[in-house]
Structure 1
Amino acid sequence: MTEKMSQHEKLFEEAFDLIIRLHGDPGNPAARELAERWRARGKEHEAVWAEAVHLHGMTGRVVQARSQAEPQPVGISRRRFVLGGSVAVAAAATCLALAPGILLQMKASHLTSTGEIQQIPLEDGSEIILGPNSAIASRFTADERRIELLNGMAWLNVADDARRPFNAVVEGMQVVTQKGAFDLSRDADLLTVAVEQGAVDVATPGLSLSLNESVTAGSWLSLDRDGGLVERGTRNPQQFASWRSGMLVAESETVAAVVARISRWVPGKVLIASRELGEQRISGVYNLANPQRALAAVIQPYAGKVREITPWLTIISAV
């Protein structure tokens, strides 16, 4: 670790200490004055403070519960920070990871864990390769073939059946084909379909955005389910779902989307502290055999930092 990184980590711990102290005794004027004086020391202190406040907001409920159960003394040591603030953050990350997992287990017909890729043969001769930390629910009847991507990413190789079109759904986006191969994913609120073979019809009956168009081999389409943004492009079809072979190919994608994809190979939660950093664009090829190094490579052009707070929580920040 370099001297600069060590200084940043020290400032981050100091900031989190002050936040926990303020949260434990919000009416204490001495604690407020101490925090204000610390922030006034310079731009770096203020930037670290903003980052720490953002992370505390993500874990506020756990920190609040812990503060009520164990009131903090006036002096918070480095050890108390490690055993207090970091434990609270880790606990929140664990809750964030476990709560959706329980719901997925109830709905999913197939689901995977961190770093696990599962090959799933379907009764009609189709095949699905399910990415890590992903889940699907399937329904096959005499009149219908339907797959819902509940979480994560999946590559689908659809067998021909003119009588029963294959219907794949993720959030409010619907992808229909008679025969073909395509990658379907949801990463950082982006819904993406990339067609390797054949063609698919994409519609958005469950979104405010109205869309109904065909996507052919070598083409991809992404929807921002919140803002309605639509992006399209073309690429070598062999690059689609490259995660199947342990590599990730990104071309002018947001940092948030690429980080979300790589994070499926990382235990626990990976959080981006800066929204601005998450909105930056990145292109590259990343080796998923070393996901921490891949994360560092993604944010390296923007001088970002990857910090493993605990084995179950990784924080990515711009400073």
Structure 2
Amino acid sequence: MPTPRPQLSHQVLEQAAQWFAVLQGQPGPQEHAAWRAWLEAAPEHRQAWNRVEAISSQFARLPQPAAAHRALREGTKRRQFLSMAALFGGGALLAAAGRGLPWQAWAADRSTSVGEIRQVPLASGGQLWLNTQSAADIRGTQVRLYRGELLLESSIPLRIETANGPLAMLGRRVGVRQYPSHSEVMAYEGPVSPAARGATLVGGRRGELRQGVLTDVGPVRPGAQAWSRGIIQADSLPLGDFLGELSRYLNGYLHCDSEVARLPLVGAFPIAQPDRIFQALEKALPVRVHRPLPWWVSVQPREDVRA
């Protein structure tokens, strides 16, 4: 059995991030000695250091996959991609599978990278929006979602294929978000039906699709489709949930302290401007945004409030 990943406290991870920031500058012998002493003081320190280094290396490699996504979207034909994969013995496909992504997502007609939102006109006259880290194929009146989230607007019926079964879009505006265990379905305008069995969602209702069965789980959340306009809308949304949603659009590490995770947040926040979001959070809530590294952000209680 694989060795389980060690559970590290956020405090130790923060210390590791601070030391990483120090060593990225021009540290002298004293700083190196102090860092070495901290590193050897406890096994958790070395584990945390390894974790921060791993996150840093992933962040440093980000431009390469982003460029690959653009090449696939803008110039490389799907058959060329598959031919190259076959030429190299399927290595690209194995690499994608190793990251938990189906190979079809890498060869999809349309895809988005981290933080990217894309609008695509449909031949039928409708519109498709793809959220961050999403991939889909479009074939006439059929749309297949491989990963991520989409929003569809169409005046004619469409068929939506998901990892959890097909859907018949009978209304005008529908959203689908793919999770590891199920597909979330949002009937914004008009009905959505499962191709197999289960409930038919009317406008304003939200459902979960599992193994072809669609279950109505309640009303659509306010502002759920605001992402298509580049906005995260919060209507008394707990801060921890908001930051979890924001993390989908950011590279790196984003943490919310448990002391402030339940603070209610109200507002409309521009996804493409995370610095403005963090500034707004500090003005609206009793929190401070700690950022020892550009890609390491921690939202914590303000010291005056904690005291």
Short-chain TM bin: 0.5 to 0.7
Q: 1:112, CA displacement in angstroms?
A: 1.8
Instruction: Determine if contact 1:155/1:183 at 8 Å carries over to the other structure.
Output: yes
Q: Which has the higher contact order (CA 8 A, sep 6+)?
A: 1
Q: Percent identity?
A: 18
Q: 1:187, CA displacement in angstroms?
A: 7.8
Distance in structure 2 (CA, Å) of the matches to 1:231 and 1:310: 40
The answer for the alignment partner of 1:287 in structure 2 is: 269
Structure 2: runs of 5 or more not aligned: 1-5, 17-30, 40-45, 66-95, 303-307
What code does the residue aligned with 1:243 have? W
Q: How does 1:159-308 map to 2 (within 5 A)?
A: 159-161=155-157, 165-169=158-162, 172=164, 175-185=167-177, 192-201=184-193, 212-221=198-207, 231-234=217-220, 239-251=223-235, 253-266=237-250, 268-272=251-255, 274=257, 280=262, 282-288=264-270, 289-295=272-278, 303-308=286-291
SS in 1 for 2:34: coil
Q: Deviations over 1:43-87 (max 9, x none)?
A: xxxxxx932346799xxxxxxxxxxxxxxx994339x98xx9779
The answer for the alignment partner of 1:95 in structure 2 is: 58
Structure 1: runs of 5 or more not aligned: 1-22, 24-48, 58-72, 206-210
SS in 2 for 1:91: helix
Instruction: Determine if contact 1:86/1:309 at 8 Å carries over to the other structure.
Output: no
Q: Deviations over 1:229-264 (max 9, x none)?
A: 98522567xx44122333322335454443233234
Q: Deviations over 1:129-175 (max 9, x none)?
A: 112x322222537xx72321402x321113414xxx51242x53754
What code does the residue aligned with 2:168 have? V
- Over 3 Å counting, the alpha-carbon distance change for 1:295 and 1:241 in structure 2 is farther
- Over 3 Å counting, the alpha-carbon distance change for 1:181 and 1:55 in structure 2 is farther
TM-score, normalised relative to structure 2? 0.55
Q: 1:213, CA displacement in angstroms?
A: 2.0
Distance in structure 2 (CA, Å) of the matches to 1:193 and 1:259: 22
Distance in structure 1 (CA, Å) of the matches to 2:118 and 2:134: 10
Alignment length, in residue pairs?
Answer: 234
The answer for the alignment partner of 2:133 in structure 1 is: 134
Distance in structure 1 (CA, Å) of the matches to 2:281 and 2:209: 22
- Over 3 Å counting, the alpha-carbon distance change for 1:91 and 1:154 in structure 2 is same
TM-score, normalised relative to structure 1? 0.53
SS in 1 for 2:244: helix
Q: Deviations over 1:194-246 (max 9, x none)?
A: 3221111359x9xxxxx93222223334689xxxx98522567xx44122333
What code does the residue aligned with 1:51 have? H
Q: Deviations over 1:72-112 (max 9, x none)?
A: x994339x98xx97795153255387774986762433222
RMSD: 4.9
